[in-house]
Amino acid sequence: MAFTAAVLGLGNIGRCVIRSLEQSPDATCVGVVRRPASVGTTPYDLRGVPDFPSFDDLLNSVERPDVVIMGLPSRLSPHAAAELLSRGFNTVDSFDIHDRVVEVVGALESHAEKGHAVSITAAGWDPGTDSVFRTIFEAMTPVGTTFTNFGRGRSMGHSAAVRSLDGVVDATAITIPMGGGNHSRHVFVVLEKGHTLEDVTKAIKADPYFAHDPLTVTQVKDTAALEMVADASHGVLMERVGASGSACNQHLSMEMRIDNPALTAQVLVSSARAAVRLCQQERYGCYSLIDIPPIMLLPGDRMELLGRLV
What distance in Å separates the CA atoms of residue 258 and residue 269, rounded to the nearest whole number?
17
Q: What DSSP assignment string belongs to 107-171?
A: HHHHHHHHHT-EEE-S-BBTTBHHHHHHHHHHHHSSEEEEEEEE-SEE-HHHHHHHHTSTTEEEE
Q: What is the mean pLDDT of residues 132-152?
A: 97
At 151 the pLDDT is 93
Q: SS3 of 4, please?
A: strand
User: What's the pLDDT band for 232 if we cut at 50, 70, 90?
Assistant: confident
- Sign of the Cα torsion 159, 69, 258, 142 reads positive
What pLDDT does 302 receive?
A: 95
Which has the higher per-residue pLDDT, 227 or 168?
168
Q: What is the mean pLDDT of the chain?
A: 96
- Does residue 245 surpass a pLDDT of 90? yes
Q: What is the pLDDT of residues 50-98, one digit of tens each?
A: 999 999 999 999 999 999 999 999 999 999 999 999 999 999 999 999 9
Predicted TM-score of the model (pTM): 0.94
- Cα–chain-centroid distance for residue 88? 22
Q: Return d(Cα 81, Cα 103) in angstroms, integer.
A: 14
**For residue 219, is pLDDT > 90?**
yes
* Most confidently predicted of 54-58, 218-222, 227-231: 54-58
Q: Specify the pLDDT at position 230.
A: 78
Q: What is the pLDDT of residue 109?
A: 97
Residue 214 confidence (pLDDT): 97
Question: In the prediction, which pLDDT does 126 show?
Answer: 96
pLDDT score recorded for residue 27: 98
Average pLDDT over residues 273-295: 98
Closest CA to 32 of 1, 64, 55: 55
- Say what the pLDDT of residue 298 is: 98
For the segment 207-217, what is each residue's pLDDT rounded down to a tens digit? 989 988 999 99
Contacts with 16 (C-beta within 8 Å, 6 or more apart), sequence order: 261, 262, 264, 265, 266
DSSP labels, 203-271: HHHHSTTTTTS-EEEEE-SSHHHHTTT--SEEEEEEEEEEEETTEEEEEEEEEEEEEHHHHHHHHHHHH
User: What pLDDT sits at residue 129?
Assistant: 98
**What distance in Å separates the CA atoms of residue 32 and residue 55, rounded to the nearest whole number?**
8
Radius of gyration of the chain (CA): 20
Q: How confident is the model at residue 291 (pLDDT cuts 50, 70, 90)?
A: very high
31, 56 contact by CB (below 8 A): no
What does the pLDDT average to over 144-169?
95
Asked if the model's pLDDT at residue 229 lies above 90, the reply is no
What is the DSSP annotation of 102-114? HHHHHHHHHHHHH
**In the predicted structure, residue 231 carries a pLDDT above the cut 90:** no
Residue 292 reports pLDDT greater than 90: yes
Residues ≥6 apart with Cβ < 8 Å to 258: 125, 233, 234, 235
